[in-house]
Every structure is written in structure tokens, then in C-alpha cells.
């Protein structure tokens, strides 16, 4: 009789702050809807802070979506908000 394998995979370690920051920047660049040069990215214990200027509401939402796609991101810090002439608000930018 064959024995079932009891091999278990070790849980993935959370990325370091520097790794998480770079992964977010890479994801922003990959998506193409946001220029990473427009955005400052910082990370601490899975919380990502985005800052800088952004050209449009759609770019702001794209940045938020891209950041949430990165493994290890627990939250995005929403320190301030910006309102565009259309009246739409994005709570990410200082």
C-alpha cells in the first residue's frame, strides 16, 4: 500500500518594507495607467503610504487598485485627499 505524502509547505514570509515598496512601484509601472515617478511610495509593516501629485481621478483609483494587488499589502494610508474639478475625490494624496 502506498503512503500519502505528508509534506507541508512552509508559510510564505511577508515581504520586508523595502521589498514591499519596490513591489508596489513595479506593479504601478506594470499597469501603465500611473507613472511611478508621480508617486512616492513608503511601506511599514504591510501598510503602504502613497503620496505626491496625481494627474486624474482615474489614475488615483488605478494606483489604489494596483497597490491592493501586491501580496503583503494590508492597508493603504489615506493621509489626505484631492478633489478634481469634476467633484470626484481621491483620499490618497497629500
Distance of CA 83 to the CA centre of its chain: 21
Q: How many residues does the chain have?
A: 94
Helix (H, G, I), strand (E, B) or coil at 44: strand
Closest residue by Cα to residue 65 from 19, 33, 37: 33
Mean pLDDT of 56-79: 86
Closest residue by Cα to residue 54 from 65, 45, 63: 63
CB 62 within 8 A of CB 34: yes
Rounded mean pLDDT of the chain?
Answer: 80
Helix (H) or strand (E) holding 33: none
Distance CA 5, CA 79 (A): 49
More reliable by pLDDT, 39 or 89: 39
The C-alpha cell at 71 is 501580496
Q: What percent of the chain has pLDDT over 70?
A: 76
Answer yes or no: is pLDDT of 39 > 50. Answer: yes
54: confidence class by pLDDT, cuts 50, 70, 90: confident
Helix (H, G, I), strand (E, B) or coil at 82: strand
Amino acid at each position: 500500500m502506498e503512503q500519502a505524502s505528508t509534506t507541508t509547505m512552509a508559510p510564505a514570509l511577508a515581504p520586508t518594507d523595502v521589498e514591499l515598496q519596490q513591489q508596489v512601484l513595479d506593479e504601478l509601472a506594470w499597469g501603465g495607467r500611473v507613472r511611478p515617478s508621480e508617486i512616492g511610495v513608503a511601506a511599514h509593516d504591510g501598510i503602504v503610504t502613497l503620496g505626491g501629485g496625481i494627474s486624474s481621478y482615474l489614475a488615483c483609483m488605478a494606483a489604489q487598485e494596483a497597490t491592493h494587488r501586491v501580496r503583503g499589502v494590508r492597508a493603504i494610508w489615506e493621509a489626505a485627499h484631492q478633489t478634481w474639478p469634476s467633484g470626484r475625490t481621491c483620499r490618497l494624496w497629500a
